[in-house]
Each structure stands twice: as C-alpha cells, then as structure tokens.
Amino acid sequence: MASLALSILASSLIFIIFKLYTRFKVNTLFAIVTNYYVAAGVGVLRYQGETHITEVPGKPWFLGTFILGILFIVVFNLMAKASQKVGVSVTSVATKMSFVIPVIIGVLLYAEELSYVKIFGIILALAAVYFTSIKEPVKKFEKSALILPVLVFLGSGIIDASLKYIQEIHIKEEEYPIFSATVFASAACIGFLITLFKIKDLRATYNWNTLLGGIALGVVNYFSIFFLLKALRNETLNSSSVFTINNVAIVMFTTLLGILLFKEKISSKNWGGIALAITSIILVAFG
C-alpha cells in the first residue's frame, strides 16, 4: 500500500507542477521534453542491476518501452488538443475514467475476480471522477470533436494496461528503474524530433524556469511510474483495484491540493465527488 500511496502522491504533484508552469511562465512543451530526459536519467542513476546499458535493446520488454514512449507523446498532444476543443473538464474526465480499460483487461487476461462490493465501488469511482472533475461550464462543441476525448480515453487506458502487461509478463522487479528509464528515453527521443521543428521557438523561449520546471517534472514523473509498477505487485490488491484506487485518489487529492495551495473554489458537486471517491476507495480496497 505504501507504493500505491507514493504513486498517487507523485502523480498528484505532476498536476501541481503543471499549475505552477503558468505562474512562472514556463514553456510547457520544452519543459515536458526536458522532463523525459531527466526521468530517464533518474532511472539510470537508480539502477543497481547487472545489465549493461548496451544489453537493454535485447530485453524482452524493450519493444514495449518504445511503444509506450510513443504513446506518452501522442496521448499528451491529444489531451492538449482536446482541452482546447471541448474543454478541460471533459478531457480530465476522459483521462481518469480510462482506468476501466485496465480493469476489464485484468478480469479478461489475468482472471482477476471482482466481488459485487468491488464492482459497486468501481461504479461509484466513475461517478466520483465525473463530479470531482467538473470545474467549469461545459463548452458547446461540434459532435465531430468528441473523437478527441474518446482517443484520450483509449490512449490513457492502453498505457495503463500496457504497463500492467509488461510488468506481469516480461519484467523483473529489480529491472523497474532501467525499464522506466527506457520508457522515458523513448519519449525523449521523440520529443527531440519535435523540438527540431521548433528550434527557433526553443532558442527564443527556453530559459531557467523552463529548465527547472522540466527537472522537477522529470523527477516526479519517474517516481509516479516506478511506484505504480511496484504497487501492481501488491499481494492483497489485484491490478483492477490498484488502477481504480490510483486514478480516483489522484482526482480527489489534486482537488484538495487545489483548494489548499491555490485557493480554488469548488462546487457542491465537487464535494459530492470527493465523498464518492472516498467511499469507492474503501469499497475497492476492502471489498
């Protein structure tokens, strides 16, 4: 449970760091690219195994890390476009409700059992994500724009499900640091290609705040994945429970941090969502 709690904390801090980017005028795109290099470096520094870096491409999970790296970049850009087209709330709901994908896959592929209490907890979790995330009037948008949140939903769910599959089938626990580092290194390579097309913007806007923002994000981002992988090895919670608790707790915790740190105002629906989140976590964890 300690690993799950630390993963939730790290993932929640990611949103707080993004919030601070606006205040300190950080170039978000270049900070995100920097973050991938930093996260990869943290993983390499923390790795204490015997595998040499040159042997990593021969690992059975290497192709999976490359695919995950691509997904990280693609899903992030989809999230940005969806936020602009259909609003932040709709995009946030689509992202966090994606936990139903690894839950379903956990039941189908790994024969994980869900009691009626846990199923009810998952239903409450979906409601909690919706009510906690609604923080702005829903924008009017064209029906064709709905494809963006749908793609965000699918992409986020596929990332979580892929992490579970690779962790379950291919990777040893002592290889978590180098595995995480390779995922972020793959994303960093793709980010590098993106910056080549924006080299003029890079020279004009890259500053100390962007560098520091990228470093902070990279460290936190690494540990969010590292501790999630460890949490998936929990002997008392199956993956469906881990993903449900993880996503719902992140929504709840970031909402509370927004109130405490940024004096954000939340509605009665948001408070109702927090209450549902707490209830769903209890049901899924102990059901």
Q: Any alpha helices (H) in 24-111, and if so which ranges? A: 28-46, 62-86, 88-96, 100-109
Nearest to 70 by CA among 157, 132, 176, 155: 155
Rounded Cα distance, 44 and 51, in Å:
11
At 122 the pLDDT is: 92
Where does residue 155 rank: exposed (0-12), middle (13-18), buried (19+ CB within 10 A)?
buried
At 136 the pLDDT is: 60
Helix, coil or strand: residue 269: helix
Rounded Cα distance, 75 and 154, in Å:
9
Q: What is the mean pLDDT of residues 55-78?
A: 85
Helix, coil or strand: residue 267: coil
Query: For residue 84, what pLDDT band results from cuts at 50, 70 and 90?
Result: low
Name the token pair of 139.
């924008």
Q: What is the pLDDT of residues 104-156, one digit of tens each?
A: 888 888 888 888 898 999 999 999 888 887 766 655 656 666 788 889 899 99
Rounded Cα distance, 226 and 259, in Å:
28
At 143 the pLDDT is: 65
Give the count of beta carbons closer than 10 Å to the beta carbon of residue 121.
26
Asked if residues 222 and 258 have their Cβ atoms less than 8 Å apart, the reply is no
Q: What is the mean pLDDT of residues 27-54?
A: 86
Name the token pair of 279.
């209830």
Cα dihedral angle (109, 228, 100, 94), rounded to 10 degrees? -140
Q: What is the mean pLDDT of residues 85-113?
A: 81
**Does residue 92 carry a pLDDT above 80?**
no
Report residue 81 CA to chain centroid gap: 17
Name the token pair of 190.
């793709």
Rounded Cα distance, 21 and 247, in Å:
23
At 141 the pLDDT is: 58
Give the count of beta carbons closer than 10 Å to the beta carbon of residue 189.
16
Q: What is the pLDDT of residues 154-196, one digit of tens each?
A: 999 999 898 888 877 777 888 888 889 999 999 999 888 888 8
Most confident of 103-117, 160-174, 233-247, 271-285: 271-285
At 168 the pLDDT is: 76
**pTM as predicted:** 0.85
At 233 the pLDDT is: 83
Q: What is the pLDDT of residues 220-231, one digit of tens each?
A: 999 999 999 889
Asked if residues 57 and 113 have their Cβ atoms less than 8 Å apart, the reply is no
